[in-house]
């Protein structure tokens, strides 16, 4: 998510459920909230999306600091506060094969998008940078280039499943949340509950939040083509992903 003006607290992701899960974990860590309470609230009202017309920039500006604001915008299009280091940014990247599968399911689930093409067609559009918010390859590399900025925390979705304890510690430290060992353990346990709830939600396609989702839908030829495009578009970037755990 990210904040609009002044000082505050930012962060983002490219598509659900990584985005949804990150915003809930960040809200829990920053606010000390209970996971059951988060399940009962409209989390999107607590973390408005910067570029959406609702609730709008005027409402966002009225929020009290520190504000939690979400965005999917590329780094270059974010407000100058972020570029100047006046706001914090938490960015979560997910391995692109799982991401494109989840993104496809997300497009098919929304009436407003009502995408009815095949996964092969959708994946082709993804590889050719023909989906909303532009090229994922440029998006993730641009944030990766700023990973060492003091106001940027670059996270990977797969690490949330492999080592949630370390991720919660990183988030707490980055957000300036002080907690002792017992509090940290409680926070981590609550985050585990959120991960389980998100990845096993009945409203989502089965297993959409798991790592290695792509293996159930990619054909051999699709995988070979994707690997070739990935290698070409990522160039000499040293960012790596885990495609299964």
pLDDT in tens, 70-85: 888 999 999 888 898 8
Reduce the DSSP state of residue 102 to 3 states and report it. Answer: helix
What confidence score (pLDDT) does residue 18 get?
Answer: 64
Q: Report the catalytic residues.
A: 72
Return the percentage of the chain with pLDDT > 70, whole number: 81
Which of 5-9, 82-86, 133-137, 199-203 is predicted with the least confidence, judged by mean pLDDT?
A: 5-9
Which H helix or E strand runs over 12? strand 9-13
Q: Output the furthest CA–CA distance in the chain (Å, rounded).
A: 51
pTM of the model: 0.84
Burial 61-79 (b: 16+ CB within 10 A, else e): eebeebbbbbbbbbbeebb
Structure tokens at 178: 């002080």
What average pLDDT does this structure show over 229-234?
Answer: 97
Q: Share the mean pLDDT of the chain.
A: 83
What confidence score (pLDDT) does residue 152 get?
Answer: 95
pLDDT in tens, 197-229: 766 654 455 456 789 999 999 999 999 999 999
Using alpha carbons, select from 206, 29, 17 the residue that is nearest to residue 94. Answer: 17
Reduce the DSSP state of residue 10 to 3 states and report it. Answer: strand
Which of 21-30, 35-44, 88-97, 132-141 is predicted with the least confidence, judged by mean pLDDT?
A: 35-44
90 has a pLDDT exceeding 70: yes
Alpha carbon distance, N-terminus to C-terminus of the chain: 27
With a CB cutoff of 8 Å and minimum separation 6, the contacts of 142 are 74, 75, 76
What confidence score (pLDDT) does residue 150 get?
Answer: 94
Beta-sheet strands, E only, within 38-187: 68-71, 89-93, 152-156
Domains and CATH numbers, the chain: 17-234 (3.40.50.300)
What average pLDDT does this structure show over 96-115?
Answer: 83
What confidence score (pLDDT) does residue 39 get?
Answer: 62
Using alpha carbons, select from 157, 166, 169 the residue that is nearest to residue 195. Answer: 157
How far apart, in Å, are the Cα atoms of 51 and each of 1, 192, 229?
11, 30, 29
Reduce the DSSP state of residue 154 to 3 states and report it. Answer: strand
What average pLDDT does this structure show over 84-104?
Answer: 92
């Amino acid at each position: 998510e990210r904040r609009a003006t002044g000082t505050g607290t930012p962060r983002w992701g490219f598509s659900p459920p990584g985005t949804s899960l990150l915003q809930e974990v960040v809200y829990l860590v920053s606010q000390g909230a209970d996971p059951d309470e988060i399940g009962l609230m409209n989390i999107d009202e607590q973390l408005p999306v910067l570029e959406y017309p609702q609730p709008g920039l005027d409402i966002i500006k009225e929020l009290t600091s520190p504000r939690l604001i979400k965005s999917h915008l590329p780094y270059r299009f974010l407000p100058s506060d972020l570029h100047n280091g006046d706001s914090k940014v938490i960015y979560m990247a997910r391995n692109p094969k799982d991401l494109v599968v989840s993104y496809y399911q997300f497009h098919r689930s929304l009436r407003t998008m009502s995408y009815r093409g095949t996964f092969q067609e959708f994946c082709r559009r993804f590889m050719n940078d023909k989906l909303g918010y532009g090229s994922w390859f440029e998006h993730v590399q641009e944030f990766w280039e700023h990973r060492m900025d003091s106001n940027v925390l670059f996270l990977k979705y797969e690490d949330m499943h492999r080592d949630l304890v370390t991720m919660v510690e990183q988030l707490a430290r980055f957000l300036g949340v002080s907690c002792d060992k017992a509090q940290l353990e409680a926070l981590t346990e609550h985050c585990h509950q959120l991960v389980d709830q998100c990845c096993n939600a009945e409203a989502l396609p089965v297993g959409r939040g798991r790592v290695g989702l792509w293996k159930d839908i990619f054909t051999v030829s699709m995988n070979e083509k994707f690997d070739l495009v990935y290698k070409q578009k990522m160039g000499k970037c040293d960012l790596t992903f885990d495609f299964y755990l």
